[in-house]
Amino acid sequence: MVDRLQRLQPTLAAEQQARLHHLLQQFDAWRRLRSVDYVAAVRREMAGHLASWSWYLDNLARGEEAALEDYPREVWIRTRLQQLVAEAESLGVDVQAEVARLATLDRKLRSLVEPCPGAEQQLEAQEVGTSDAWWLHVRPRRSLSD
């Protein structure tokens, strides 16, 4: 979230930029002051999202119609996991086990999806800033036997 706010900062009015800068400084100070609690919160969120993403992929692998239709609503979890990994690594937290689990889940996802025509152009138009987020450029195959 912080990185998104920082990317938006140049587009804000001067007063808004100053306010955002102040809020980001406050957040950084709190994060340093409560580093143990913050790391624990990042780890809890990561564990919860890994479990949720795994559960969703299991449903997708079974070909459940709801899972096929819900991909656009569920894929945010994968994006959030990427953000959490980056945040944990920036804090010097060892997340090798979580990264390994995420890589396993990514392999599973790759076996269940196909390229989504036009997704990259749509993302560029929205300035999402997720060129390495390949999971946003795919969609579940309608028939998993393909």
Dist. CA 84–CA 146, nearest whole Å: 33
The string of DSSP codes covering 22-66 is HHHHHHHHHHHHTHHHHHHHHHHHHHHHHHHHHHHHHHHHTT-HH
Residue 21 has a pLDDT of 84
Across the chain, what does the average pLDDT equal? 86
Beta-carbon contacts of 18 under 8 Å, excluding residues fewer than 6 positions away, are none
> Would you say residue 96 has pLDDT above 90?
yes
Q: How far is CA 65 from the centre of its chain?
A: 23
> Would you say residue 118 has pLDDT above 80?
no
Which pLDDT band, with edges at 50, 70 and 90, does 119 fall under? low
